[in-house]
Each structure stands twice: as C-alpha cells, then as structure tokens.
Amino acid sequence: MNGLAVGSLITGLLGCVSFVGLILGIIALRQIGRRGGRGRGMAIAGIALFCAWTVIGIAGYVFSSGAKTAAAPEVTRPSPTRTAPTKIDVRKMRVGQCINDASTDAAENVKVVPCDQPHDMEVLANQNLHGLILPTDDQIQQQARLLCRKLVGAKIDRDPAADVLAITNYHPSAQGWRHGDHLVTCLVSHATEGKKLSRPLKAA
C-alpha cells in the first residue's frame, strides 16, 4: 500500500488541508505508475475530495455574496442641487422675483434667484411714471421713490421684520425717459447695506 495514497485520502477528507491531499495524490499516482503497488484508488479519491471541497467553497462564497447584496441593496443618494441664477434685463423683472447684484442706478441686467436663497431684493411692483415732461434725473428719482412708497409701503409694513426692511427701486434715467422708458420697479431690500434677505416678503 502506497503511504502517500493513504495520506492523500486522509487529508482530502479534511477540508482545511485538502490541498495537501491533492499534492500527495498526484505524487502517489506517479510512484504507483512507475513502481506499481496498491493505493491508486485512494490517491484518486484524495484528488477528487480536493476538487469537491473547492466546488463547495466557491458555491458557498457566491451564495453568501448574493445574500448580502439582497439583504442590503446599495442606496444611491441624490446630490443636493442649487438652482443656477438666471440673468435678465432689469426692464423685464416680474413681481415676486428675487434678484441679486445690481445697483439701481446703472444696472442693465440682474440675476434672478430662488427667494428661499440669500438675495439682495424682491420685486413687489411695476408701474409707469406719468405726468413728467422732460424730467431731470433727480426728478425721476424723487417721483419713483414716492410712487414705490405708495404702491408697496403698506405691504412691507405688514411683514414681521418690517423694521429692518427698506424700499428701493429701479427707475429710468433722463436719457432713457426721452427714449420712452418710463417703467419704475419697486423692490424690498434689507435696510443694512450689504445684508441679504433670506425669504420672500410676508405681507399677510
């Protein structure tokens, strides 16, 4: 009886060292083939046991991985997004829009942003000035201020934060007036220069 063949069978039965059974079985088969002797079946059995343990191990790994994937699927969380500002002409601002940038004196364009994000001003009213004939810049500015106070003053006064709010406006220049631009846009801003608003006006 070939001793290596016996060893191949024994170690092949032990899954943790079945690789040793494979090696012993191969050596035993070579010795039996050259010298003759008994134990060929044991050597083959040792090799077969190694193969069986290998298949069982692979199947167990695949099953375990599949069970983990089914039990805990990967969750993809959407990244938070912010709405990109939209740039528009100052003469096309609409009531309810919130804007950033821009001086009321010479700006041509402003950026529209969501009102729940920090913003410089919120548009409250649009109206044409009437009754002025070839006015100066100062006259237009004065009339625009009075008009906006009349249109939106009460609305701003009803906001809980009225003490820190101010009325501002976009108005045409004297040159623009001569070219037909009579539109005044009334807005609310923070009374402290440089501070931004963080919500729409509450005028309930």
Query: For 46-96, what is each residue's pLDDT tens digit?
Result: 778 778 878 888 888 888 876 665 555 555 565 555 556 688 888 899 999
Q: Give the containing element (helix H, strand E) for 99.
A: strand 98-100
pLDDT band with cut points at 50, 70 and 90 for residue 118: very high
Contacts of 107 (CB under 8 A, 6+ apart): 90, 101, 170
What is the tens place of the pLDDT at every residue in 131-176? 888 899 999 999 999 999 999 999 999 999 999 999 999 999 999 9
What is the tens place of the pLDDT at every residue in 10-28? 766 776 666 676 677 677 6
**How many whole angstroms separate alpha carbon 170 and alpha carbon 69?**
60
* pLDDT score for 21: 66
Q: Tell the residue number behind the tokens 């846009």, with chain if given.
A: 185
Q: Is 188 helix (H, G, I), strand (E, B) or coil?
A: strand
- How many Cα atoms within 13 Å fall on the side-chain side of residue 171? 22
Which of these, 80, 156, 168, lies nearest to 117 by C-alpha position? Answer: 80
Residue 104 has pLDDT above 50, yes or no: no
* pLDDT score for 146: 95
Write down the H helix ranges in the chain.
3-13, 18-35, 40-71, 137-157, 174-178
**How many whole angstroms separate alpha carbon 80 and alpha carbon 98?**
21
* pTM for the structure as a whole: 0.57
Given a contact cutoff of 8 angstroms between Cβ atoms, the answer to whether 8 and 29 are in contact is no
